[in-house]
Amino acid sequence: MRSIIDIPDLSLPELDALMDTAEDIIRRPGDYAEVCRHKKLATLFFEPSTRTRLSFEAAMYELGGNVISVAGADASSVAKGESVADTVKTVSCYADIIAMRHPKEGAARVAAMNATVPVINAGDGGHAHPTQTLADLLTIRREKGGFSGLTVGMCGDLKFGRTVHSLLSALCRYENMRFVLISPEELKVPSYVKSECLKRNSLPYTQVTDLESVIGDLDILYMTRVQRERFFNEEDYVRLKDSYILTPDKLRKAKADLCIMHPLPRVNEISVAVDTDPRACYFKQVLNGKFMREALILKLLKEAGTL
């Protein structure tokens, strides 16, 4: 039974095919409105993530399917006594496919091993959240027409941000990309991420601490949150935080077709005034996430022989 725990579970042709399906759904939604008729998606959310759960549920409804859901207080009561293995074995009896969010890292792998239906990891602690990366990839492809020749800036907390590491490793599978890694010294990309992605594929990259000095070079700017608790002292945080907040003023030097991304939710790292800028793509990312979840549900149900 094929499940998706993390992005490396998908080959490059599979990633491209998922994006093709998503774009086809966008073009011809009517053709997909009944494809999952009488099929059920179970959303098991052992920790709250309303936006991800809604995205999966909306995706299944748009395919004409149904949703059964365990979330909030119910999920924590399930989580108390029962193992992940037993929970997914039970839910496999009711649903054709499962999307699971769990606070423990590796929980999705345990679920996939025990379920008798496909499992999609909707986030397992700090480990993986592949459908976020799928949303990011589709956004870049739709905005830029492909991945070749792009200069991608990643800005903010590049040390702890799993979305950044996951996107970076996915983009490194495409050729002819350049990266600009923009972060305070304290929050640079870990060396193992650099050696596993950038160096292994010998992709050019630069590391800088200042966003404004490089913003003009970028085709993509992926913003992430710089959290106060990541700093040793308050002074460093106060000194640095403003340099990683995107404002209309900083954007004056940027390309006219820059694509500004953010995994959301944002706290204050992108000024609200940027939202009306046509280069702001973060709400498009949300929409693209729903389409990629549709494509993934379809793919896994087909492979399982359910469709």
Partner 1 sequence: MTVDSIQNGTVIDHIAAGGGMKLYHLLGLEKADVPVAIMMNVNSHRLGRKDIIKIDGELALDFDVIGYVDPDATVNVIRNGTLLEKKQMVLPERLKNVLRCKNPRCISGSEQELPQLFVLTDQSTKEYRCYWCETRAAKL
**257: CB partners within 8 A, 6+ apart:** 219, 279
Pattern 100-139, binding to partner 1, x per CB under 8 A?
A: --xxxxxx-xx-------------xxxx------------
Closest by CA to 38, choosing from 70, 60, 71, is 60
CA–CA dist 152, 203 (Å, integer) = 12
Distances from the Cα of 267 to the Cα of 12, 149, 168, 270, angstroms: 33, 31, 22, 8
Residue from 11, 77, 83, 176 binding partner 1 (CB under 8 A)? 83
Q: Which is nearer to partner 1, 103 or 216 (CB)?
A: 103
- When asked if residue 167 is in the footprint of partner 1 (CB under 8 A), the reply is no
Q: Which is nearer to partner 1, 64 or 106 (CB)?
A: 106
Q: How far is the CB of 195 from partner 1 (least distance, A)?
A: 10
Q: Which helix (DSSP H) or strand (DSSP E) does residue 299 occupy?
A: helix 282-303
- When asked if residue 199 is in the footprint of partner 1 (CB under 8 A), the reply is no
- When asked if residue 72 is in the footprint of partner 1 (CB under 8 A), the reply is no
CA–CA dist 52, 59 (Å, integer) = 11
- When asked if residue 190 is in the footprint of partner 1 (CB under 8 A), the reply is no
Contact criterion met (CB below 8 Å) for 53 and 59: no
Q: How far is the CB of 186 from partner 1 (least distance, A)?
A: 21
- When asked if residue 290 is in the footprint of partner 1 (CB under 8 A), the reply is no
Q: How far is the CB of 128 from partner 1 (least distance, A)?
A: 8
Q: Which is nearer to partner 1, 127 or 225 (CB)?
A: 127
- When asked if residue 165 is in the footprint of partner 1 (CB under 8 A), the reply is no
Q: Which helix (DSSP H) or strand (DSSP E) does residue 167 occupy?
A: helix 162-171
- When asked if residue 269 is in the footprint of partner 1 (CB under 8 A), the reply is no
Q: Which is nearer to partner 1, 88 or 187 (CB)?
A: 88
Q: How far is the CB of 46 from partner 1 (least distance, A)?
A: 11
CA–CA dist 157, 150 (Å, integer) = 21
Residues annotated catalytic, as ranges: 51-52, 80, 101, 129
Segment lying near partner 1 (by CB under 8 A), choices 26-34, 96-104, 237-245, 294-302: 96-104
CA angle 171/6/295 to nearest 5° reads 80
Give the CA count within 13 Å in the CB-facing half-sphere of 100. Answer: 36
Q: What are all long-range contacts of 31-34, with beta carbons under 8 Å and residues at least 24 apart?
A: 32/62, 32/63, 32/64, 32/294, 32/298, 33/62, 33/63, 33/64, 34/64
Q: How far is the CB of 9 from partner 1 (least distance, A)?
A: 13
Q: Which is nearer to partner 1, 72 or 125 (CB)?
A: 125
**Number of residues this chain uses to bind partner 1 (CB under 8 A):** 15
The alpha carbon dihedral of 38, 17, 12, 102 has a sign of negative
Q: How far is the CB of 106 from partner 1 (least distance, A)?
A: 3
Q: Which is nearer to partner 1, 71 or 107 (CB)?
A: 107
What does the binding site for partner 1 look like in residue numbers (CB under 8 A)? 83-85, 102-107, 109-110, 124-127
